[in-house]
Amino acid sequence: MSKKSQSPNSVKKPRRSRGRRVNEAALSLVRSAIAHLPTRRDLLVEYLHCLQDVSGCLHSSQLVALASELDISTAEVYEVATFYHHFDVIADGGQAPPETTVRVCDSITCEMFGAEFLISKLQKLETSEVRIQRVPCVGRCDQAPVAVVGKYPIARADAKKVFECIEEGCISVVPKEPWIRFAEYRDSNGYEVFRRCKDKSIDIESVLSHLEASGLRGLGGAGFPAGKKWRILRNQESPRLMAVNIDEGEPGTFKDRYYLERDPHRFLEGVLIAAEIVGIEACYLYVRDEYPAVLEILQYSIEELEQAYSGILPRIELRRGAGAYICGEESAMIESIEGKRGMPRLRPPYVAEVGLFGRPTLEHNCETLYWVRDIIERGPEWFSSHGYNGRKGLRSFSVSGRVKKPGVHLAPAGITLNQLIDQYCGGMMDDHELYAYFPGGASGGILPATLADIPLDFDTLDDHGCFIGSAAIIVLSTEDDVVVAARNAMRFFAQESCGQCTPCRVGSDRAWNLMQDKSWDSDLLEDLCVVMEDASICGLGQAAPNPLRSIMRHFPGEVGIK
């Protein structure tokens, strides 16, 4: 980021001490840690990352010093630092965390493949220098179970692999397979569409018409038509901003990581095309902290891009999340980019009207922008011509669970689960028979094998109480317990609720506790689901009941419901 870059809430007032006395040594450390960044209130989350990177935790004296440096209250800094899971706030004189942290994913797929056993084994390795943490999905469900030593992910982890990694001091986070660099991408006609948009050889209406004719919809889960969204934003007052959501924390989802670790410039060209057509002043890319390799690759790729096209690009800022699933919700992400707690906003107004820094904001998912270049270059028919069962387009399915070939599979929209497993996933694992599946990650609900021939696309699963969301497919076999999987999903929502609204905060925790009973009280649980769905502020609380309702609807015998 440029030291000269500014934002609507740049810090301009003279700094002064507010509240607690500032420790000079802590202030010196703070200034050193954030010296490479401009001084702006909206960078608070990034400053906290810098301090944690340097010190291994956040000491109280450092938070006081940071508040003084930004001329804001210490309470503002504390409330942000304590909101995000990845920050360790330590009172001065308190015990700092061990030097090495081993995080073990305990979400649905990892639990299916033995995460609990792995955690029990690893806890025996805990020392004053190593701590073991159970964490929600880290976006590597196809490699379950997964452990992360520091920032180094271990696929199909066992205690031996983890121990060896600790002993060897594994530090590299960049994928072993090289990604497509700028020169290679440009040699394959890369950035040509952007250039033509820039010099007006492709007119704005042509681009918008291509997007609309292709049927491209938001691929983060909401499914709003991309072309329509661009038209709406173009009609808003300038300056307009863009916020790109790469915080795919939904258990079962990892497609954005897959694409960005391989072909980041295709995504970046989509960002630039959108910025040029809509008239965007600055672009903010929000990446989950669990993706250190993606952060490194994007930083490198943005620098390549800025060197090649100096002076003609919108400002591009890369922001790290800090371990909060709720920041995948668009307004919560915007709050986080502004340096606040990731609390969803009440709507209206919508972010297209009043978004980032109070400006009209084009919010997009990573994969939606990834396909923009191809649609404009190849024509809308290239995208819309794909599809099964009367549906149009392509979908990137993140498939995990009991299949032989888990991973990201690009398949026609409207494909059924049976077709997806047989044609793309190599079939079910040996000695495993399909029993159930999550069609849209933890929040998408659960369907039985008898409904594995339903087209997988937007709106096709509504009648069965489910939705496709970001197309995260988790496949369960007859060897798995569907009720255990549903409890895992509800536990996740209870832990990840931001706590802002009572229906979600209390309801998800209450639901999880009621789900521990051998026989479920279906009337009580349904009443709870209705309240959560109708009264929660954002999609987390509204969708959290889906796994619970799916069990009662499709698997009543599993929980004693007649």
**Domain 394-480 CATH assignment equals 3.40.50.720:** no
**How confident is the model at residue 20, as a pLDDT?**
77
Q: Nearest CA to 267 among 185, 154, 175, 147?
A: 185
Geometric angle at alpha carbon 18, from 14 and 20, rounded to 5°: 145
**How confident is the model at residue 15, as a pLDDT?**
52
The tokens describing 254, both together, are 């990892």
Cα 133 to chain centroid, rounded: 20
* Cα–Cα distance for residue pair 369/291, rounded to 1 Å: 19
| Preceding peptide of 145 cis, ω within 30° | yes
The tokens describing 189, both together, are 């006609």
* Cα–Cα distance for residue pair 265/369, rounded to 1 Å: 11
Q: Are 483 and 558 in contact (CB under 8 A)?
A: yes
* Cα–Cα distance for residue pair 199/14, rounded to 1 Å: 43
DSSP string, 96-160: PPPSEEEEEE-SHHHHHTTHHHHHHHHGGG--SSEEEEEES--S-GGG-S-EEETTEEETT--HH
Q: Hey, which CATH number is domain 24-90, 3.20.20.70, 1.10.540.10, 3.30.1280.10, 1.10.10.1590? A: 1.10.10.1590
The tokens describing 525, both together, are 């649980």
**Domain 100-168 -> CATH class:** alpha beta
**How confident is the model at residue 45, as a pLDDT?**
98
Domain limits, the chain: 24-90, 100-168, 182-378, 394-480, 483-559
Q: Within 10 Å of residue 359's Cβ, how many Cβ atoms?
A: 18
Contacts of 293 (CB under 8 A, 6+ apart): 173, 174, 175, 257, 261
Q: Are 338 and 98 in contact (CB under 8 A)?
A: no
* Cα–Cα distance for residue pair 336/11, rounded to 1 Å: 17
Q: Hey, which CATH number is domain 483-559, 1.20.1440.230, 3.40.50.720, 3.90.180.10, 3.30.379.10? A: 1.20.1440.230
Q: pLDDT tens digits for 145-154?
A: 999 999 999 9
Geometric angle at alpha carbon 411, from 406 and 415, rounded to 5°: 100
Q: pLDDT tens digits for 305-328?
A: 999 999 999 999 999 999 999 999
**How confident is the model at residue 221, as a pLDDT?**
84
Burial (Cβ within 10 Å: 0-12, 13-18, ≥19) of residue 28: exposed
* Cα–Cα distance for residue pair 23/61, rounded to 1 Å: 6
**How confident is the model at residue 8, as a pLDDT?**
55
Provide the residue-wise pLDDT of the chain in tens; the chain has 562 residues.
444 444 555 554 445 555 679 999 999 999 999 999 999 999 999 999 999 999 999 999 999 999 999 999 999 999 999 999 999 999 988 999 999 999 999 999 999 999 999 999 999 888 889 999 999 999 999 999 999 999 999 999 999 999 999 998 887 777 767 899 999 999 999 999 999 999 999 999 999 999 999 999 999 888 899 999 999 999 999 999 999 999 999 999 999 999 999 999 999 999 999 999 999 999 999 999 999 999 999 999 999 999 999 999 999 999 999 999 999 999 999 999 999 999 999 999 999 999 999 999 999 999 999 999 999 999 999 999 999 999 999 999 999 999 999 999 999 999 999 999 999 999 999 999 999 999 999 999 999 999 999 999 999 999 999 999 999 999 999 999 999 999 999 999 999 999 999 999 999 999 999 999 999 999 999 999 999 999 999 999 999 999 999 999 999 999 998 6
Phi, psi of 407 (to 5 degrees): 140, -170
> Which CATH number is associated with domain 182-378?
3.40.50.11540
**How confident is the model at residue 7, as a pLDDT?**
54
Distances (CA, A) of 5 to 35, 171, 303: 14, 31, 15
Q: In what order do the strands lie in the sheet with 407-412?
A: 407-412, 394-401, 472-477, 434-438, 447-448
* Cα–Cα distance for residue pair 483/552, rounded to 1 Å: 10
Geometric angle at alpha carbon 558, from 553 and 562, rounded to 5°: 60
State whether residue 307 is helix, strand or coil.
helix
